[in-house]
Amino acid sequence: MKLSLQEIENILVRFPGWRRENEALVKTFSFPAYMDGVHFAVRVAEEAERLDHHPDMLIGYQTVTLTCTTHDAGGVTERDVALIERIERLL
């Protein structure tokens, strides 16, 4: 079930750097080099497979931007929160 705007705001307090953009949770991660971001993206992909919940990933030169939304629900759900929790633990 989609979380309300208020629920999302309350959750975001626990996750520095994450923001809400429309119907998604978004964060841009910075890395010293391009391949560091690529390796991070692979680890995120492995975690996503474990959870069966998959973020959109944009790999930049020294950044990776993750966009987490639940397509089936058309917005942010607890599945996205579980995913960003796991992603933060990868760092």
Ligand X SMILES: C[C@H](O)[C@H](O)[C@H]1CNC2=NC(N)=NC(=O)C2=N1
Instruction: Output 69-72 pairs: Cβ under 8 A, ≥24 positions apart.
Output: 69/23, 69/24, 69/25, 70/2
Is 46 a binding residue for ligand X by CB under 6 A? The answer is: no
From 71, 82, 85, 90, residue interacting with ligand X (rule: CB under 6 A): 71
Minimum distance from residue 86 beta carbon to ligand X (Å): 13
Q: Which is nearer to ligand X, 37 or 83 (CB)?
A: 83
**Among the candidate windows 7-15, 24-32, 33-41, 47-55, which touches ligand X by CB under 6 A?**
47-55
For binding to ligand X (CB under 6 A), which residues are involved? 52-54, 69-72
